[in-house]
């Protein structure tokens, strides 16, 4: 499997998945009597950018102004993070830089780096906005969008990864590795900078998430804490999982090797996946096996980690 997700494409549908996934989709749908659910529907993006960057920024400012009225002690922090900025990219870059700055590379230098990346690849901002919207939509603990913007380390780690991936593709790999190391130290999320990641991705909690060098993460994917997308040994080359659109990777799931997790699949908590997972399949166990199939929902959006009781066997 040598599929590649090019960064910053507005339609990151991963259409290079090819005939293999298409055949798996058809087989899975046929086996489960879901013939009326069209394959075209399965491929459509699931998290449109409803508000747009400007709309998201207006919402963040309104929520920030409300916070400083209710909690005056937070005004210096909220001013620095939101209210003193003129737009979403400026606020995001400043926040990320202050989270990661250290004695070697200052927050001011990192803020300049983010500005350079965004100027060269404006879609980084669109992807960040889509990621934030995904959190607001899928996380019941997020009662507004300001809270995850300010405090969710999964979001911060993912947006720093987008900067690191931008560096990686421009052959600035030493700095990309430095950022990967700092993100791992500060946020406990370790994503190799070579990994292409789609938009609308939600890394919930973030602690312990590890994604290896040749992995691919599609659009509208939800990843919970302690998930590993790893290899199976010390071999070189393409050796990590390919996670397609709409997939839910539940807490503690370990997906190992150059295998494919088909679109709208669900991997149960604590499972160890060593083989390809067909589109729409629900897999659980060690090693994981198919115990069910998706119906009308996208697992990554529904965020339902349960497994149907009649189909679950220990």
In percent, the amount of the chain with pLDDT more than 90 equals: 77
Summarised one tens digit per residue, pLDDT across range 30-54 is 444 433 343 333 443 444 444 689 9
In percent, the amount of the chain with pLDDT more than 70 equals: 81
Report the C-alpha gap between 54 and 56 in whole angstroms. 5
Q: Give the pLDDT score at 309.
A: 66
Q: Give the pLDDT score at 69.
A: 97
Summarised one tens digit per residue, pLDDT across range 254-263 is 999 999 999 9
The overall average pLDDT reported for the chain is 86
Q: Give the pLDDT score at 8.
A: 65
**For the chain, the helix, strand and coil percentages under 3-state DSSP, each to the nearest 5:** 45, 10, 45
Summarised one tens digit per residue, pLDDT across range 48-93 is 444 689 999 999 999 999 999 999 999 999 999 999 999 999 999 9
Q: Give the pLDDT score at 314.
A: 54
Taking 70 as the threshold, does the pLDDT of residue 310 lie above it? no
- Higher-confidence position of 241 and 28: 241
CA distances from 183 to 29, 64, 102, 144, 213 (A): 40, 26, 12, 25, 15
CA 154 to chain centre: 9
Structure tokens at 287: 């090693």
Q: Give the pLDDT score at 235.
A: 83
pLDDT band at 313 (very low <50, low <70, confident <90, very high): low
Exposure string of 276-290, with b = 16+ CB inside 10 Å and e = fewer, is bbbbbbbbbbeebeb
- HEC string of 9-61 equals CCCCCCHHHHHHHHHHHHHHHHHCCCCCCCHHHHHCCCCCCCCHHHHHHHHHH
Cα–Cα nearest to 87, from 53, 63, 115, 116: 53
Tell me if residue 273 falls in helix, strand or coil: strand
Q: What pTM does this model have?
A: 0.84
Give the mean model confidence (pLDDT) for residues 144-173. Answer: 97
Q: What is the DSSP letter of 79?
A: I
Summarised one tens digit per residue, pLDDT across range 100-134 is 999 999 999 999 999 999 999 999 999 999 999 99
Torsion of CA 19, 215, 236, 251, to 10 degrees: -120
Summarised one tens digit per residue, pLDDT across range 185-211 is 999 999 999 999 999 999 999 999 999
Taking 70 as the threshold, does the pLDDT of residue 10 lie above it? no
Report the C-alpha gap between 312 and 148 in whole angstroms. 34
* First-residue to last-residue Cα distance in the chain: 32
CA distances from 117 to 82, 84, 165, 166, 296 (A): 20, 21, 10, 7, 38
Given a contact cutoff of 8 angstroms between Cβ atoms, the answer to whether 113 and 121 are in contact is no
């Amino acid at each position: 499997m040598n599929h590649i997700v090019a960064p910053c494409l507005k339609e990151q549908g991963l259409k290079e998945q090819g005939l293999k996934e298409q055949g798996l989709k058809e087989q899975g749908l046929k086996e489960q009597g879901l013939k009326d659910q069209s394959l075209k529907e399965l491929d459509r993006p699931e998290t449109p950018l409803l508000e747009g960057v400007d709309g998201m920024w207006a919402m963040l400012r309104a929520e920030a102004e409300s916070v400083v009225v209710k909690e005056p002690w937070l005004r210096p922090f909220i001013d620095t993070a939101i209210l003193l900025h003129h737009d979403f990219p400026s606020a995001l870059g400043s926040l990320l830089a202050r989270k990661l700055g250290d004695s070697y590379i200052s927050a001011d230098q990192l803020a300049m780096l983010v500005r350079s990346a965004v100027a060269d690849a404006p879609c980084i901002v669109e992807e960040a906005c889509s990621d934030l919207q995904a959190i607001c939509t899928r996380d019941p603990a997020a009662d507004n969008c300001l809270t995850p913007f300010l405090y969710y380390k999964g979001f911060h780690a993912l947006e720093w990864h987008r900067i690191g991936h931008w560096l990686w593709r421009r052959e600035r790999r030493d700095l990309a590795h430095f950022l990967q190391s700092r993100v791992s130290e500060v946020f406990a999320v370790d994503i190799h900078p070579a990994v292409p990641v789609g938009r609308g991705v939600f890394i919930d909690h973030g602690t312990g998430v590890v994604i290896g060098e040749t992995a691919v993460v599609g659009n509208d994917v939800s990843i919970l804490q302690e998930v590993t997308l790893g290899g199976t040994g010390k071999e070189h080359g393409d050796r990590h999982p390919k996670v397609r659109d709409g997939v839910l990777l539940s807490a503690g799931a370990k997906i190992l090797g150059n295998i494919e997790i088909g679109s709208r699949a669900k991997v149960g908590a604590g499972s160890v996946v060593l083989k390809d997972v067909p589109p729409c399949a629900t897999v659980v166990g060690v090693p994981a096996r198919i115990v069910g199939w998706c119906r009308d929902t996208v697992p990554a959006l529904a965020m339902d980690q349960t497994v149907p009781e009649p189909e679950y066997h220990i």
